[in-house]
Structure formats: structure tokens, C-alpha cells
Chains A and B, each alone.
Chain A
Amino acid sequence: MSQDHSHDQPSDPALQVKALESLLVEKGYVDPAALDALVDAYENKIGPHVGARVVAHAWLNPDFKRALLTDAKSALEELGITGWRSANLNALENTPSVHNLVVCTLCSCYPWSVLGLPPTWYKSAPFRSRAVIDPRGVLSEFGVELPEEVEIRVWDSTAELRYLVVPQRPSGSEALSEDALAALVTRDSMIGTGLARTPEGVAQEEPG
């Protein structure tokens, strides 16, 4: 606890956080084991693997998909997914004529319950500033080119609603199991900055 006493401008965040944690533990406010468990939850309990399971289930079950698109909270409960603000989740379906893209221009709102914590780029100024004014340019940076006749809907998460994109099911995936389908569903495809992978694409990336 020597170098920098200017608390608004931490010079070395690792040291400062360590010092802060030991102070808060010593004052009896926090339990270090609980902190470990919280970090484990952020890193492992939530994440895009949850959303991928939801999307794959929706691809296989039209009734579930309908329920997901109209009342995502109840649909998620069917799969045992609760908490992490899932009560205010809305699912948006991509189709051949409509492509949805999610952003939070004002801060970093993100559907934790199904995608976990947001990637750095999602929270960054370049994405936040341009997703609303130039979605096609943004998509192009992610390698996605959409025909002009496709309507792009950008969802700016300005309140407590959260949005999950249900990407289009790729062709060639008709015979796949739910687990194999879930492996095609990328995080970016559920934000709308990507498309689901194709079985051929997966085979090329992971030969053997």
C-alpha cells in the first residue's frame, strides 16, 4: 500500500484490487470463499453454451421456438434456465428476410443469462458507436455480408430488456442431434454479428 493513493486513477489495478479485497475482508464485509464462487459462476455457470442449447432446442422443436419468441422467460424455465435477469429476455428470430443485431450504445447491457459476460469488443466504442448507424459496415468487419433486400433490425438495449438472436439454422444440419446443433451456434450468431456455423465449415475447421 505505498505507491498511489489516488483512488479514482488506479495505477496498477491488480495491486489495488488485491489491497481493496483484503481491506473489505478484514472489515468483515465480504467472504473470500464467496468471491471465489462468484468468479466461478461468471466464468463457468453462465456463457454462450447456455444460449446455444436454447437455440438448438428451438431449431428442433417448433412449439418451443414459438414459446421462446413470445414468452422467453417461460420457455427458458422449461429448460431450467432462471436468474441472471432472464425474466426480461426477448428472443429475436433471424429469417431469410430479417437479420437482428444487438448492441448497447449507452453502456454494456448484455443477456447474461444466455450469453454470459460480454466480450471486450461488445463494450468497446467502435462497436457501440457504429452498430446503429452502419450495421452493414459492422457486419462486414465480422465477415458477414447480407443482401440489400434483407431488413436489418438493430436492437439498442436502452432499458432492462435483454435480447437473444436466434440465428437461422444452417442447411446441411437436418440430421444432426441437439448437441451437434448446439455446436454450430456461436456467441456472435446470438448477438447478430455472425451466422451459425455450417456442418461443412465445422468439418473443415476440425478435420478428423
Chain B
Amino acid sequence: MNGIHDMGGMHGLGPIEIEPDGPVFHAAWEGRVMALGDSMGPWGNWTVDRFRYLRETIAPADYLTKPYYEQWLMNFLRLFREAGLVSESELASGRPDSGAPKHEPKIRIEDIARVAGREDTARREDGKTPRFQPGDGVVARTISPTGHTRLPRYARGKRGVIDRDHGVFVFADTNAHGRGENPQHVYSVRFAARELWGETAAPRDGVYLDLWDDHLDPA
């Protein structure tokens, strides 16, 4: 979707508020949000792609102003409700509904070494044959899907060169919407800064994006 999250290349969003040695969490509840999300993962079947898409649908004003972990909390609440793990009345009362089944946690403290930092699962062994080789000229497709896409607006229609082939990965754009993993090659594609931004950009600079076969056409 052409949403506020797709902000690469925008001006006017203010100075960077640098915090050289900030804590990992600025309040204890932030860490609890992450831990709750990780612990609830085995109860639902949501994907990271779905999670990212949900965050993109947060109202633009909230997206720009709500603290990051509040946005994660909003996301997790939506996922828990969608998966039927909690009911509206339970969220309102803070207590299990009468007659609600009592479960056993799927992640216990003895499982933490296994589940904390579990390896990424988006890489696949098999997928479509690569359409491009390093050095090939490509053009990023001009698309405007209303759903999730990892092809940012600032690169659409621009010409680049395949820098490297990273192998086969789940295609986020379909996986976010339950339309299948559609595994295919992901490449780092180099776009000259001047191709993206015009003649005011430094002549030697470049931006590398990781794009899937379905984002690209031969130049």
C-alpha cells in the first residue's frame, strides 16, 4: 500500500533524535510487549509479513506519533483477537470468560534457549529459477498494490543493476495476505543515487534494495 510507512526519500520529518547510549527498553512494559508477542507466536499462525502489514494499516497520524512498542502492542492485540485467542469481553474485563478452557504454555523457561533467537524461516531451498544474474540490468516494476509490498515507491520504475543473488525466500507480498509463500529469488539491486533522486545526488553514491523476482523486469 502507498502508506505513510513507505517514507524513503521524504523530506520534512525533522532532525534525527540521536541517543548515543540509550537503554534497550525505555520502560519495562516495552520488553513485556516483545516477550508476550514471542510467547504467543506458537498459539497463532501469523507471519512476520502479516505483522508488518498490520502496522502499515495504523492510521498515518498514529504511525508518526505513537511510540514504537505501542504500535507493536496494537498489532499483537489485533493478531490475538483475529486468531480467537482472546475475546473482546476478556480484553474489556481482564479476566477469562467463564467456561473458557485453561491452556498449558507452549513456551516454558526451559524452552527459551531454543525459541529465543530461533533462526529465520523465510529462506527456502526450492523455488523458481532465478530470472537474473549479477550484472544484469533491471527495472523495478511500477506497481501500486493496496496490500503489502516490499518494493518501496522511491524505486518503482527506476533502473538498477543486480549486485548479488541471495537465494530463495518466501515472497512477502503474497505471504502477508495468506496468498501463499510463492518462494523466489531475492537480489540486492543497486540503484545509482542520481537515477533515484536526480542530478543533485552525489554522482558515485548508490542505494541497494533487496527485491524479489516479481518486483523486477529486464531493463
List B contacts of A17 (CB < 8 A).
Answer: 29, 32-33, 36, 73
Of all chain A residues, the one with the shortest Cβ separation from B91 is A7
List A contacts of B55 (CB < 8 A).
Answer: 107
List B contacts of A124 (CB < 8 A).
Answer: 16-17
Interface string of B25-42 (1 = CB under 8 A from A): 111110111111011100
Instruction: Kindly identify, within residues 164 to 194 of chain B, every residue whose CB is under 8 Å from any CB belonging to chain A.
Output: 166, 169-170, 172, 186, 188, 190, 193
A125-B64, A132-B196 known; A159-B212 Cβ under 8 A: yes
List B contacts of A47 (CB < 8 A).
Answer: 24
Q: Are B16 and A141 in contact (CB under 8 A)?
A: yes
Give Cα distance in the complex from A156 to B86, angstroms: 36
Task: Count chain A residues whose beta carbon lies closer than 8 angstroms to a beta carbon of B.
Answer: 87
A34-B39, A119-B19, A156-B208 known; A39-B9 Cβ under 8 A: no
Q: Are A154 and B208 in contact (CB under 8 A)?
A: yes
Interface string of B196-213 (1 = CB under 8 A from A): 110001101111111110
CB of A106 to closest CB in B, whole Å: 6
Give Cα distance in the complex from A176 to B201, angstroms: 39
List B contacts of A153 (CB < 8 A).
Answer: 190, 205-208
Interface string of A17-54 (1 = CB under 8 A from B): 11111111011111101111111011101110000000
8 Å CB contact of A148 from B14, B108, B202: B202
Q: Are B36 and A21 in contact (CB under 8 A)?
A: yes
Give Cα distance in the complex from A183 to B146, angstroms: 46
Chain B interface extent, by class: 35 or more
Give Cα distance in the complex from A152 to B94, angstroms: 51
List A contacts of B128 (CB < 8 A).
Answer: none
Of all chain A residues, the one with the shortest Cβ separation from B90 is A23
Instruction: Kindly identify, within residues 120 to 140 of chain A, every residue whose CB is under 8 Å from any CB belonging to chain B.
Output: 120-121, 123-133, 135-136, 138
Q: Are B96 and A23 in contact (CB under 8 A)?
A: yes
Q: Are A29 and B5 in contact (CB under 8 A)?
A: no
5 A-B pairs besides A23-B86, A120-B19, A132-B8 with CB distance below 8 A are: A8-B78, A33-B109, A39-B25, A105-B154, A161-B186
11 contacts between A and B (CB under 8 A): A13-B70, A26-B96, A38-B112, A42-B25, A87-B120, A107-B52, A125-B7, A138-B16, A142-B18, A153-B207, A159-B211
Residue numbers of B with Cβ under 8 A of A are 5-11, 13-20, 22, 24-29, 31-36, 38-40, 43, 52, 55, 62, 64, 67-70, 73-74, 77-78, 81, 85-86, 90-96, 100, 102-109, 111-112, 116-120, 122-123, 150-152, 154, 166, 169-170, 172, 186, 188, 190, 193, 196-197, 201-202, 204-212
